Amino acid sequence: MTSRAHSFTSAFRHVALLAAILIGLVALDRVGAAALRFAYTNSTASPETLLSQVRPDTVVIGTSTAKYSFRPDAWDGELLNLAQDGQTVVFSIVYAAILPPVEGLRRLIVVIDATDLRLGMKNRHISRVWRLAPSIAGHPDVASILKPPLPSWEPLAWSHLYRYRGAVEDIVKGLFRPNTVSYEALQPGRVEEPRANPSPDSNAKFRDLDPSLDKMIALLKSATTRLGVTLVLVSPLEYKRPPNARDRYVFSEFVARLQGIPVCNLLGIETPELRRIRDKANYFHDEVHLDGRGATAYTREMERMIKERCGRSQSAETVTR
């Protein structure tokens, strides 16, 4: 009996110890998540914090091609560039969906790559959207669309740090950098002359807009309405590569799905100045990223075009190239 009682007592102690460890880990998770959320809301990693500090009239979202194309110091007004390296159109739409309405915000510029529209939710870089995890957590309608879904409890708890390491990285940077995002000008680089592409077969089927973006497009429409802005759609410049027929096709599919909201469609727009910028090697850092001088010229030309063609709220197909 003594031996059995000793074994029972020993087992009970082990179970109690494991339970205490588990409770401690859960408590650490909760405390840690609260600390990270507090740091997030007090750093420039938070879009809410940035918008309240800058009070922009125009916001730019997109990937690195947008980040290095729109210079706030070349814009005649208050432009906030929220684009990030390596993101996708899903990131841009989610960012639009989590932005709070701000007085004076008139335009939301979304820079879109045609390849993103063809890949949709199958793009392997989609997970980078979790840099916005703390803000996404406050929008269940957004979180439910993403894969894998965001946990309903403590989205920045310690047990999720690896998955949301990008958000933690942004929080740390945001605590120490200036209150507003500063534009980072790329230096001129060596660009390669593009190879001649054969014209697409007129009988070949164009790759359509991926149906996995259906819910995302609906989310973008509702975000545009909620923010009370004009959605300005722009495609990035590529060195000596004008928009081709395949890209124009998928762009037109995307724009057609945005009927009913104020949209200014500048996807694939061509002007003499844009052609001049696109053909100058010393305006590019590489084949798809503008350097500082190129970005200055591009920003000024795009602002001119936006003022000329996007002055009034327009329905999705109203802007003529």
Whether 112 is covered by a domain: the verdict is: yes
Q: Is residue 213, in this structure, part of any structural domain at all?
A: yes
Compute the distance between CA of residue 168 and CA of residue 155 in angstroms, rounded to an integer: 11
Q: Give Cβ neighbours of residue 165 (< 8 Å, ≥ 6 apart).
A: none
pLDDT (0 to 100) of residue 313? 45
Residue 89 backbone dihedrals phi, psi, to 5 degrees: -65, -25
Q: Does the residue 134 lie in any domain?
A: no
pLDDT of residue 154: 59
Encoded tokens for 165? 């390491």
Q: Is residue 22 part of a domain?
A: no
**Among all chains, which residue has been given the structure tokens 């007129």?**
202
What secondary structure does DSSP assign to 68-124, as a single string?
TT--GGGSSS-EEE---TT--HHHHHHHHHHPPP-TT--EEEEE--HHHHHHGGG-T
Has residue 198 been placed in a domain? no
- As a whole number of angstroms, the distance between CA 243 and CA 257 comes to 20
In a domain, 228, yes or no: yes
Q: What is the pLDDT of residues 306-316, one digit of tens each?
A: 999 997 544 44
Number of domains in the chain: 1
Residue ranges of alpha helices (H) inside the chain are 2-41, 47-54, 64-67, 89-98, 114-119, 133-136, 140-143, 165-176, 214-227, 245-256, 272-278, 292-309
Q: Quote the CA–CA distance of 137 and 126 in Å, as a whole number.
A: 17
Structure confidence at residue 177 as a pLDDT band (50, 70, 90): low
Average confidence score pLDDT of the chain: 84
Percent of the chain residues topping a pLDDT of 90: 50
Whole-number pLDDT of residue 160: 66
pLDDT of residue 138: 82
* Sheet architecture: strand order including 230-234: 79-81, 58-61, 107-111, 230-234, 263-266
- Radius of gyration of the CA atoms of the chain, in A: 24
pLDDT tens digits, 187-229: 888 888 887 655 554 444 556 899 999 999 999 999 999 999 9
Cα gap 296→281, rounded to integer Å: 15
CATH, residue 265: 3.40.50.1110
CB-based contact 135:46 (threshold 8 Å): yes
99 found inside a domain? yes
Amino acid at 266: L
Neighbours of 51 (CB within 10 A): 18
CA distance 24 to 247: 54
The more confident residue out of 180 and 145 is 145
pLDDT digits (tens, 9 = 90+) for 70-121: 999 999 999 999 999 999 999 999 999 999 998 999 999 999 999 999 999 8
Range of the domain at 67: 55-128+139-151+182-190+207-309
Count of positions (residues) in the chain: 321
In a domain, 175, yes or no: no
Residue 251 has pLDDT above 50, yes or no: yes
Q: In this predicted model, what pLDDT tens digit does every residue of 129-172 receive, in sequence order?
A: 888 888 888 888 898 888 776 665 555 666 666 667 788 788 87
Token reading at 122: 């199958």
